[in-house]
Copies of this chain bind each other. A is one copy, B any other.
Amino acid sequence: MRDPQTAARLMSREELTSQAAAVLSRLRGKSPRVHCITNSVAQNFTANALLALGAVPSMTLSGEEIGAFVARSDALLVNLGTFDRERREATSIAVDAASQNGLPWVLDPVFIDRAEQRAVYARDLILLEPKAIRLNAGEFAALSGQRHADAAPARETVEAYARARRLVVGLSGATDLISDGERTAAIANGHPLMARVTAMGCAASAIVAGCLAVEQDTLAATASAMLIVGIAGEMAAEKSQGPGSFAAAILDALYVIDAKMIDARGRTGLQR
């Protein structure tokens, strides 16, 4: 058994970029259906991000039909951005439908560091076995019961959490850290303007779900999604004058990004 203190294997740049190119190609070929339970702030941008990349989004929250939508989907996103009764009922039905149909699902525990009920709810959802969670440092701290809410957690902490929960953690930050506890990807792509557009993280989580629909290796799917989004962000920033033009440009970038761009731009970051 691996000592929990030992770092997981760090994935190489070549491994990550070739993986992402393969996942992207499959996603474009299969156009997977991704059902998204997400907040009303993020719905439009999330749907457009999935469409730009080549997936097919659906967004209904109605308890009467969400089971049927999920059953006909290839992956599910659960985003806590709006925390109301309707979405919790929808989540319960949707996660059930995903489990019964063997579909992967992703949890984005938005703002669980702002209200304790959210954190409690997110911890309960994790017992229902999402394949991956995508979140930021503050949300990770709220989830894992750590102190320093905004500082990036140590690599080992993320790896130990992933190993213990048997899921992939996709932690966004200056360097994205993605780990299942055995392997870790450290991605240095991205751009500060991504933090100036609402729903950017929500859209990234939806893209994780899209990649899970076409890639069984959860770590590969999650790391590929975050690499693609980070590179698209850099491409968009080069064509933008601010966050308004950036939001449009990143959708354009998700539409045109290909294996060559991924190989040319993908960067790994060293972690402690």
Contact surface of A with B, Cβ cutoff 8 Å: 39-45, 47-48, 51-52, 57-62, 64-65, 68-69, 72, 81-86, 111, 114-118, 195-199, 239-245, 247-256
Contacts and interface: CB of A to CB of B under 8 A. Distances in A.
A231 to B, nearest CB: 14
Nearest to A64: B117
Copies of this protein in the complex: 3
Contacts of A254: 242
Given A62-B82, A65-B118, A83-B64, A256 B242 contact: yes
A238 B164 CA distance: 52
Nearest to A257: B242
B68 A116 contact: yes
A117 B67 CA distance: 12
A254 B241 CA distance: 11
Contact of A252 (B44, B68, B81, B241): B241
Contacts of A60: 39, 81-83, 111, 115
A48 B251 contact: no
Contact of A249 (B39, B58, B117, B244): B244
Contacts of A43: 40-41
A176 to B, nearest CB: 20
B51 A47 contact: no
Contact of A114 (B69, B81, B118): B69
A19 B41 CA distance: 32
A115 B68 contact: yes
Given A198-B47, A243-B251, A115 B65 contact: yes
A197 B48 contact: yes
